[in-house]
Structure 1
Amino acid sequence: MLSPLAAFLKAVEEQPNQVYLRQPVNGRYQDYTWSEVSEISKNIAYQLRTLGVEKGDRVALWSKNCAQWVMADIAIMMAGAVCVPLYPGQSKSSAQYVLEHSGAKVLFLGIHDNESDVIDAVPNELTTIGFPYYKGPVSHQWDELAVQQADDSFKVDSPDLDDLMTLVYTSGTTGQPKGAMHTHGGFAFAANNLVEQVGMTNSDRTLSFLPLAHVAERVIVEGQSFYGWFSIAFVESLDTFNDNITEVRPTMFFAVPRLWSKFQEGVLAKLGGQEKLDKLLRIPLLSSFIKLKIKKSLGLDKSVRCGCGASPMPKALLDWYDRIGLPIYEGYGMTENLCYGTRNDSDGRSIGSAGRPYNRNEVKISEEGEILFKSPSLMKGYYKDPEKTQEAFVDGYYRTGDKGIIDENGFLHITGRLKELFKTTKGKYIAPAPIEALLTSHEYIEQACVMGSGRDQPIAVLELSETARGLDKAAVEKEVLDHLEATNSQLEHHEHMSTLVLTQLMWTVEAGLITPTLKIKREAVESRYLMLADDKSKGIIWGPEETASKEHQAA
């Protein structure tokens, strides 16, 4: 099995002049061929060596996605170093912890929304290299280093498959992030097997915008490109996203439920609502035309592989995309197994499940109901944390912390988190995840967090979607209460909710309510909203940033 670096160099040898990376600059794409990427990466690797980076040293990478991100990652491998990616938007304290804990010698800095926050977080003594788009102070500029040819004596490292390739720090829903140690062999196994099972080829193209610091984008996009030899385009900014995707027209597109939901909202807003779309789709002569028009407007008319991960996608949303001829295939994995978990795709699909395991990936359910994974893609442990490493494994299987079942057809169903279960005063346990999935099936609800440990009944905090924000509050409350009644009818009596807290505040990383990987920080949401409702509360309560509509709260 070729290492990721060896697979990349093989592609350079076989298709040197084919475009690999596409970086938008001022509205126009700048293309880099495979040979150009190799040359620039080699020059940067040589400069890392001159800066004192030796084999096994850690080099950090903190930037939004761009062509230089991938080139820097390749350069780190060429230098024999270990890549330590940081999330865009990562807090100052978290970033400083990762830099110190990993012992990073050099830090690449690139595109950020708030550069002042990044500047404050970087230790003064750390050597930094600034990408072309970074305007803060740095020790060296990428453009200056990239054109300095590597010395003839410089030899590109040939890593063993057992060598450490990267430290991927968890996003840290509670406590400090942990650094998952992944080898070149583990990464190669996951990426190479994904290419074979997904069917990627060098005629494919994708658009990369989810954080490359997360293993999903790192393996599914960058990793697969090393073995599938396809091209990767990037997004210049949030404002140019639509222009970028419609120009690239990716054949593979991977996103999170929130984006698929926003795509739907945009389509319905342009068409005048779901009722009108339903009417158009019922007309035989118009149906195919409307479906194609919608896909073209999204820039996805050439996409044959649309994926989703990070959190479960509501069944209603999956059904909606199926209906317009754009099926979304979900996957399930985590940092610790390089997202090499299960897939729910055209080879076998069961909506509502997490799919079946990838090849050579063993999945079983423990006596406690916990989902366990075992494959060559598993991490070697948490960096400098043998205690947490020991806790993470049982008999060679990784403990996911998720509860689940496997049905008679081999499909995995996730039923909640072991640590998220809470008990009401009635002595009944509540699993939030299934209830949250029912709540977020409504177009007015962007995200939901069910809570209520030690209370008579659970309550839910709901972030309103863009569709609902700004609408008449009385109308929103009526619609949400009707949805609550429908949701409760599908639940056991001890799971029924009588109180909902509504908020128009967007749950963002900056607000401290979600992690950089878009997972809800339950403790943060609870501390902000739980105090608003007691066991006597009924109906709708608006969050502290809103004024409650008293006349529409149930007595």
Structure 2
Amino acid sequence: MLSPLAAFYKAVEEQPNRVYLRQPIDGKYQELSWAEVEIIARKMAYQLTALGINKGDKVALWSKNCAQWIMADLAIMMVGGVSVPLYPGQSKTNVQYVLEHSEAKLLFVGKHDNDKEVIDSIPQGFTTIGFPYYSGPVTHKWDDLVSHSNPDDFKPYIADLDEIMTLVYTSGTTGQPKGAVHTHKAFAFAANNFVEHVGIKSPDRAISFLPLAHVAERMIVEGQSYYGWFSISFVESLDSFADNIASVKPTLFFAVPRLWSKFQEGILGKVGGQKKLDLLLKIPVISSLIKNKIKKGLGLDKARLCGCGASPMPQALLEWFDRIDLPVMEGYGMTENLCYGTLSLPGQRSIGAVGKAFHQNQLKISSEGEILFKSPALMQGYYKDAQKTQEAFLDGFYRTGDKGEIDSQGFLRITGRVKELFKTTKGKYIAPAPIEGLLVSHVAIEQACVMGSGRNQPLAVVELSETARAMDKAEVKAQIEAHLQKVNSQLEHHERLDSLVLTQLAWTVESGLITPTLKVRRDTVEERYLQLVDEGTKGVIWGPEEAQAQSHQAA
């Protein structure tokens, strides 16, 4: 088995002049071949050595996705270093904790949405290398180091497979981040098997926009490129996102449920709503034209594999994309197993399930109903935390913390979180995830959080979609009231929601309501809203911010 760096060098040898990385600058793509990427990465590796970075030293990466991110990662591997990715939008507290806990000696820093917050987060005197798109002060600039490098005598280090390659810190919905220790062997096993069993080839095209610090993007885009030898294009900004996708026309496209929901919302807005789309799809000739126009408008008319992960995608949303001939394949994995869990594939898919276990991946359900995994992709443990490492494993299997079921065909269905279960005063346990899945099936609801520990009945807080936030409040409330009745009719009596709180405020990383990987921070949502809803409150109500705004408008 080739290590990630050795696999990269094999690609350089076999297709040196094929385009590998495509970076948009001022609306135009700058293209770098595999050979050009190798030269730049080696020049940076030479400079890392000159700066005192040796085998085993930790080097952090903190930037939005760009070509330099991947070249910096390659340079770290070339000196035998250990990469420590940081999420864009990560809090100052978490950034400083990870830098200190990982013992990082240097930080690559690049473009963020708010460079001032980044500047404030970097410890005084910490050695930094700034990517070309970063405006803050740095110790060294990427372009200066590359242009003044003479790496002719530098020989890249090819690590043994059992050596540590990276510390991937969890985004964490609660508590401090934990650093999952992954070897070159684990990374190689997962990435290579992805490529072989999904059937990825060098003519494929991927577009990278989800954080490369997240294990899914790191594996599915960067990792697989080393073994699949395909090209990667980046997104210049949020404003150019749609144009970038349309320009690239990716054959491989991976996104989180929130983005697929945004796509649906945008499509319905353009065609005039769900009723009109339903009517158009019933007309044979028009139906085909509409489907093709929608896919072309998204930039996904050449996509042969669309994926989704990081959090559950509502069944209704999966079925909706099926109807426009854009099937989305769900996958399931986590930081601790390099996203090497389960995957749905064309012809091997069951709506509502997250696929079957990958090749050489043991999947089973514990006596408590918890999903367990065991494969060569598993982490070595949590960095400098023997206790949490011990708690994370059961007889060599990783404990996911998720509850699930495996059907007779081997498809895995996730039924909730072990630790998210809560008990009402009636002594009944509530699993939030399935109820939240029903709630977000409505196009007006962006995200949902079900809570109610110690109450007679559960309740939910929801974030309205962008379209719903622009609608008349009375109309939105009426729609959600009808939807709540429909949801409650599908639940057991003890699961039925007493009330549903509508929030027009966007749930953002900055507000603390979601993690950098767009997962809901339950503790923060509960802390902000639970005590504001009196026991016994019924029906759909507006959150305190919206209610206050309405009273001001009335005055």
TM-score (norm 1): 0.98
- On the 8 A contact 1:3/1:161 being kept in 2, the answer is yes
Specify the alignment match of 2:299 in structure 1: 299
- Per the TM alignment, residue 229 of structure 1 is displaced from its structure 2 partner at its CA by 0.1
1:205 aligns with 2:194: no
1:88 aligns with 2:88: yes
Equivalent positions of 1:69-84 (< 5 A) are 69-84=69-84
SS in 1 for 2:466: coil
- On the 8 A contact 1:542/1:549 being kept in 2, the answer is no
Specify the alignment match of 2:326 in structure 1: 326
- Per the TM alignment, residue 151 of structure 1 is displaced from its structure 2 partner at its CA by 3.5
1:261 aligns with 2:261: yes
Specify the alignment match of 1:196 in structure 2: 196
Quick one: structure 1 residues 495 and 104, their matched pair in 2 at CA, closer, same or farther if it must change by over 3 Å?
same
Specify the alignment match of 1:33 in structure 2: 33
- On the 8 A contact 2:292/2:301 being kept in 1, the answer is yes
Specify the alignment match of 1:113 in structure 2: 113
- Per the TM alignment, residue 550 of structure 1 is displaced from its structure 2 partner at its CA by 9.7
Separation of aligned partners in 1, 2:253 and 2:73: 22
1:537 aligns with 2:537: yes
Quick one: structure 1 residues 548 and 428, their matched pair in 2 at CA, closer, same or farther if it must change by over 3 Å?
farther
Separation of aligned partners in 1, 2:266 and 2:151: 52
1:501 aligns with 2:501: yes
- Per the TM alignment, residue 150 of structure 1 is displaced from its structure 2 partner at its CA by 3.5
Specify the alignment match of 1:476 in structure 2: 476
- Per the TM alignment, residue 148 of structure 1 is displaced from its structure 2 partner at its CA by 2.9
SS in 2 for 1:468: helix
- Per the TM alignment, residue 549 of structure 1 is displaced from its structure 2 partner at its CA by 10
Deviations, residues 55-80 of structure 1 (Å, cap 9, x unaligned): 00000000000000000000100011
Separation of aligned partners in 2, 1:31 and 1:146: 17
Separation of aligned partners in 2, 1:182 and 1:25: 33
- On the 8 A contact 1:256/1:308 being kept in 2, the answer is yes
Specify the alignment match of 2:130 in structure 1: 130
Letter in 2 for 1:233: S
User: Cα RMSD (Å) of the superposition?
Assistant: 1.1
1:394 aligns with 2:366: no
- On the 8 A contact 1:291/1:324 being kept in 2, the answer is yes
| Worse overlay, 284-293 or 45-54 | 284-293
Specify the alignment match of 2:9 in structure 1: 9
- Per the TM alignment, residue 543 of structure 1 is displaced from its structure 2 partner at its CA by 1.4
Specify the alignment match of 1:238 in structure 2: 238
Separation of aligned partners in 2, 1:504 and 1:250: 33
Specify the alignment match of 1:346 in structure 2: 346
TM-score (norm 2): 0.98
- Per the TM alignment, residue 548 of structure 1 is displaced from its structure 2 partner at its CA by 6.9
Letter in 1 for 2:258: R
Separation of aligned partners in 2, 1:411 and 1:54: 45
SS in 2 for 1:105: strand
- On the 8 A contact 1:86/1:213 being kept in 2, the answer is yes
Separation of aligned partners in 2, 1:546 and 1:94: 31
Separation of aligned partners in 2, 1:347 and 1:125: 55
- On the 8 A contact 2:42/2:151 being kept in 1, the answer is no
| Worse overlay, 150-159 or 446-455 | 150-159
Percent identity (aligned): 70
Specify the alignment match of 2:355 in structure 1: 355
Residues paired across the two proteins, number: 551
Specify the alignment match of 2:20 in structure 1: 20
Quick one: structure 1 residues 549 and 100, their matched pair in 2 at CA, closer, same or farther if it must change by over 3 Å?
closer
- On the 8 A contact 1:532/1:541 being kept in 2, the answer is no
Separation of aligned partners in 1, 2:501 and 2:519: 19
Letter in 1 for 2:529: Y
Letter in 2 for 1:480: I
- On the 8 A contact 1:440/1:446 being kept in 2, the answer is yes
Separation of aligned partners in 1, 2:279 and 2:143: 55
Specify the alignment match of 2:450 in structure 1: 450
Separation of aligned partners in 2, 1:149 and 1:500: 60
Unaligned runs of 5+ in 1: none
| Worse overlay, 251-260 or 279-288 | 279-288
SS in 2 for 1:467: helix
- On the 8 A contact 1:473/1:549 being kept in 2, the answer is no
Letter in 2 for 1:77: M
Specify the alignment match of 1:520 in structure 2: 520
Deviations, residues 325-383 of structure 1 (Å, cap 9, x unaligned): 11000000000000000012214111101110000000001111110000000000000
- On the 8 A contact 2:463/2:504 being kept in 1, the answer is yes
Equivalent positions of 1:369-518 (< 5 A) are 369-518=369-518
Deviations, residues 471-503 of structure 1 (Å, cap 9, x unaligned): 111111111111111101110000011211110
- On the 8 A contact 1:42/1:150 being kept in 2, the answer is no
Specify the alignment match of 2:63 in structure 1: 63
Specify the alignment match of 2:146 in structure 1: 146
Quick one: structure 1 residues 459 and 288, their matched pair in 2 at CA, closer, same or farther if it must change by over 3 Å?
same
Deviations, residues 391-413 of structure 1 (Å, cap 9, x unaligned): 00011000000011111111111
SS in 1 for 2:151: coil
Quick one: structure 1 residues 399 and 229, their matched pair in 2 at CA, closer, same or farther if it must change by over 3 Å?
same
- Per the TM alignment, residue 470 of structure 1 is displaced from its structure 2 partner at its CA by 2.2
Specify the alignment match of 1:317 in structure 2: 317
SS in 1 for 2:258: helix
Separation of aligned partners in 2, 1:223 and 1:303: 19
SS in 2 for 1:71: helix
Deviations, residues 205-245 of structure 1 (Å, cap 9, x unaligned): 01000000000000000000000000000000000001100
Separation of aligned partners in 2, 1:236 and 1:420: 37
1:184 aligns with 2:178: no
- Per the TM alignment, residue 260 of structure 1 is displaced from its structure 2 partner at its CA by 0.6
